[in-house]
Structure 1
Amino acid sequence: MDLRSGAGFRQRFVECETLFGTFLKTPTTHASEILGSVGFDFVVIDEEHAPFNRETTDRILLACRASGIAGIVRVQGPEAPFILSVLDCGATGVLVPHVDSVAKAKAVVSACRYATGSRGFSNTTRAGQFGKATLAEHVSEQDQAVTVIAMIEDPWAVDEVEQILSVDGIDGAFIGRGDLTVAYRQAGQGASLVTEATDKIISAARKVGKPVCILASSQEDAMELSQKGASAFILSSDQGLMRQAAIQTLAGYGQSLASKTTVPANS
């Protein structure tokens, strides 16, 4: 079993193994290949906030498979067509925005499952090995492999988070601290209302035996969240990592060359 994709990833996630991923914001295959090669566990292709379409997502999911890294897609919304599209392309799982009620959680799970849901069937896709998998094989493999993560990022979702995460088929929660900060009308990171909401979500997830994924702002932040109960961490994005590396590289070379002793030209 490939432990960084498919059923292997889902098993590791639900068992609360410590996992590391990053958002993909640029619609190319290269970042997923690089991240897979250095040992990241997963990437999240961000269809909600970045310029992806079905074709670019399809290519990146192929690159994820080639690189042995789980390809999770943050879909544009919780509607079934958005979910079906990426699952057929071979996504390891979905990160679904604004799952703010039990009814919406049940609808999301139904869109992801064949035997117990309403996912539209086709085995002539990458997910179905382009027809190699029989109907029964495809249904069984996909229902076991697809990871379903509900994004809790609305104040009213926090109020009923235990009930949302108790829905059978919701594999875990992602805490959207950025959206919660804006929704609570706070000015920046670290607001007490957001910290309280984060703690409430983690507590509810632990109570019902579900893992928590979260975007960590620093190593110290990740350590604190891990001690509280979070287990899957998104570390920046491909753009963020490139920007950070570019700043550090430019500063390093600039300082090195600026400190070089200048040899005066011959007069």
Structure 2
Amino acid sequence: MTETRPHPREFRKRLQAGEPLLGTFMKVPATQNTEVLGLLGFDFVVLDEEHAPWNRATLDQSLLAARAAGTAGIVRIARADAANILSVLDDGAIGVMCPHVDSRQKAEELVSWTKYHGGLRGAGVSRGCDYGALPDMFRAADDFTTVICMIEDRQAIDVIDEISSVDGIDAIFLGRGDLGLSLSNATDPVPSLSEAVEKIVKIAKGNGKTISAVVQSMKSDEAKWLIDLGVTAIMVAQDLAFMRQAASMALQDFNEVMKGNA
């Protein structure tokens, strides 16, 4: 980490300002992967409670590791309800990423559950507010808590203007995997995945929302296309993919060297 590195609680402001931000998904419920990526300089990590075996204890530990390593810890929640969101924010998450937001009502409920003032978030003296030591802690938490909606259902395309107009939604994440599946399951005519993505980005950006997406490589045509569309918060792969890539390279190097010495 460098002395000039922004504090993780600056993440929401940086996201809203459209700064280029680098993140990745955390599939392994451990602290070390978060620490390594945070210390390398990743702006944020998303602990994937939806698709990986995270629980309250492992989330708590890795959110502490994220804070220690200077990266913003976001949780992709497994359940979109007040209790689940409260627990991850109390544990110190800088924000939440919510899957399958397909209506204005869901977006409004999500914001309400993350906010103290004007919302329904329950007051608790926890890591999220420095155990009561954070000055004006409820307003401070409201200011830095980040809310990201995942758009990954075909029905969300028709109401993307309503969803992205909700005050308190900071970013729209393009869940292209599930969105592609949803479109493929339609019986009536639907746009192609690329057409749907372009429509979502245009409308959401028009409503002042930052756009986020995941790519497998920053040097891919896919990444260039998304960046040209206006995606600024980019997630590259995930921790297991990084490990597989590095391990594959080590295996390849081993085979080349040992064959040369045979």
Superposition TM-score, scaled by structure 2 size = 0.93
The 8 Å contact of residues 3 and 12 in structure 1, kept in 2 or not, is answered as no
The 8 Å contact of residues 49 and 76 in structure 2, kept in 1 or not, is answered as yes
Query: For 1:120, which of 114, 119, 122 is the aligned residue?
Result: 122
The 8 Å contact of residues 134 and 140 in structure 2, kept in 1 or not, is answered as no
Which letter does structure 2 place at the counterpart of 1:238?
D
Q: Aligned partners of 1:216 and 1:232: how far apart in 2?
A: 11
Structure 1 unaligned spans of 5+: 187-191, 263-267
Matched, 1:161 2:172: no
| Deviation (angstroms), 1:226 | 0.7
- After superposition, the C-alpha distances for 1:112-151 in whole angstroms (9 at most, x for unaligned) are 00111111111x21012123246xx111111000000000
State the match for 2:50 in structure 1. Answer: 48
Q: Aligned partners of 2:36 and 2:233: how far apart in 1?
A: 20
| Deviation (angstroms), 1:2 | 6.4
State the match for 2:107 in structure 1. Answer: 105
The 8 Å contact of residues 61 and 90 in structure 1, kept in 2 or not, is answered as yes
- 1:22-41 to structure 2, matched below 5 A, reads 22-41=24-43
State the match for 2:62 in structure 1. Answer: 60
- 1:1-267 to structure 2, matched below 5 A, reads 3-6=6-9, 8-122=10-124, 124-133=125-134, 137-185=136-184, 193-218=192-217, 219-220=219-220, 221-260=222-261, 262=262
Structure 2 SS opposite 1:71: strand
Pairs aligned (count): 253
State the match for 2:188 in structure 1. Answer: none
Q: Aligned partners of 1:11 and 1:133: how far apart in 2?
A: 18
Q: Aligned partners of 1:197 and 1:217: how far apart in 2?
A: 20
| Deviation (angstroms), 1:172 | 0.9
The 8 Å contact of residues 73 and 91 in structure 1, kept in 2 or not, is answered as yes
Seq. identity, %: 43
Which letter does structure 1 place at the counterpart of 2:50?
E
Q: Aligned partners of 2:99 and 2:15: how far apart in 1?
A: 19
Superposition TM-score, scaled by structure 1 size = 0.91
Bigger CA radius of gyration: 1
Deviates more, 1:99-108 or 1:215-224: 215-224
Q: Aligned partners of 1:246 and 1:162: how far apart in 2?
A: 44
Residue 4 to residue 236, structure 1, CA distance change in 2 (3 Å): farther
Which letter does structure 1 place at the counterpart of 2:237?
S
Q: Aligned partners of 2:173 and 2:7: how far apart in 1?
A: 19
- Aligned-residue Cα RMSD (Å) equals 1.6
- After superposition, the C-alpha distances for 1:15-55 in whole angstroms (9 at most, x for unaligned) are 11111101000011001110011111100000000000001
Which letter does structure 1 place at the counterpart of 2:234?
F
Which letter does structure 1 place at the counterpart of 2:260?
S
The 8 Å contact of residues 96 and 149 in structure 1, kept in 2 or not, is answered as yes
The 8 Å contact of residues 78 and 99 in structure 1, kept in 2 or not, is answered as no
Residue 57 to residue 107, structure 1, CA distance change in 2 (3 Å): same
